Structures are given as structure tokens and as C-alpha cells.
Structure 1
């Protein structure tokens, strides 16, 4: 079981599904919304139980980002044409049991850091 929450505790989530695709996203939208890099993993959307009020922001025509309206924590990412939902690894309460698999959208990464952990890097998703 993985459980997580926002900074203020107003939004919580849990899943018994095994998360997949642990990645660090370096796209411009994730950098703007998180302040740096956004690390996430995904599960089937029906397998993620969310409690509390989530505000969904239409970040593009194809995806939305969910955040807590109280504290502003960026918690979820969902593509409209996918049946999965990503959750922020930093919001998980306790150990995740996961290891990053890759870096995505590295073509958009900031110029103030280097990626040197040896994981695969994809220019896009």
C-alpha cells in the first residue's frame, strides 16, 4: 500500500496497485509548477483513491494537473487519453519502495544543473 498527501494534509491518496514508470520530468511545465524537477510514478486511474478537494488545471489540450487548493502542492498528472494517473513521489508518506527508471523531457531541462546519475534520458516523454 502506498499512501501520500499534500503539505497541509487536505488531500490524501492511496493505492494498492504496484506503481510503474518512476521518472523525473524536466519539461518546462513541471519545472514551472514544481520549481525544479517533478518525480512521479503511475498506476491505473481506478486504482488511485483520492480524498479531499483537488483542483484540476488544464495544462494543455491533452493533460491536466491536480493540486491541493489549500497549500498548492502539485500531486497528480493525467493525460486525457490514458487510463493511468501519475502521482508525485515526493508526496508519498514513508518509503516508496521505488527507484527512478529514467529522466524524461530532458531537451527542456534547466541550464543550471546536470543529470549525472547514469539513468536513461529521453529528449521527450
Structure 2
């Protein structure tokens, strides 16, 4: 791993991971699938697959939430951890699973057209009805 490494794990510790290199900016996804998966909205970062090392990968279970997307969670404690798109060279990681400090900040909100009606987004960050460039 590189000199700069960011570590995290699921609630029970069966799955641990390490991301090498600088953390990218994060985004908050408000789509109905992320809300159902996390219980609110999902805050995460997309990192290159070559930056990620997973320990306890045998405890990761994948759920295909759409034809091209799957979500990885710990089979023991149920912690949502990963977001993965077929053919992509990146993998998304839920920020709540990282040990702090992460060195990143939210940069945008996506799929706000699908957000829950029980909260407001008031942090002043850019908001996209779907994803940047599609609005």
C-alpha cells in the first residue's frame, strides 16, 4: 500500500479494507435505493479498484440492485460497504465505514429528485436531479 492509506471496516470487523492514496471528493446519493440500503442517504467515495484491498472478502455478500449495479455488505452484521457497477474501473465505498480522519469532504448531492421528504439539503453544495451532466 502507498504511504497514505485509509482504513475502515464493517460493524463487527469481519470485513476490513484499506484504500491507498489520496481520497477523492465524496458525494451524497439521495436515490431511493441508497436511502433503503442505508436508512437515510448514502455518502461515499469512488476509488480505483487497484487502490482497494479487502480483508475478510469471504464475508462480503453482493446484492444486485439493478441490472448493472450491485451493493456489497457484510454477511455477518449487515453493514453496507460497497457500490459496484459492471465494467467500471472504480468501486464506491460508504464513508461511514471508514476510520477517521478520511481527509475528504462532500462535494455534491446526486439524485436529489428522488430524495426523502423528511429532510432538507441546506449545506450549499451543488445539487443534481440525477447525476452531473444529465440535468
Shorter-chain TM-score category? over 0.9
For residue 30 of structure 2, what is the aligned residue in structure 1? 26
Distance 1:42 1:18 in 2: 12
1:52-67 map, 5 Å:
52=56, 53-67=59-73
For residue 114 of structure 2, what is the aligned residue in structure 1? 108
Distance 2:48 2:21 in 1: 8
Structure with greater Cα Rg = 2
Q: Aligned to 1:79, which of 77, 85, 90?
A: 85
For residue 91 of structure 1, what is the aligned residue in structure 2? 97
User: CA-atom RMSD, angstroms?
Assistant: 0.9
Say whether residues 1:15 and 2:19 are aligned partners: yes
Distance 1:17 1:66 in 2: 22
Distance 1:26 1:61 in 2: 19
TM norm structure 2: 0.89
TM norm structure 1: 0.96
Structure 2: runs of 5+ lacking an equivalent: none
Question: What are the superposed Cα offsets for residues 79-118 of structure 1, whole Å, 9 maximum, x if unpaired?
Answer: 1131100101111012111110000110000000110000
Distance 1:49 1:55 in 2: 16
Q: What number of residue pairs does the alignment pair up? A: 125
Deviation, structure 1 residue 17:
2.6
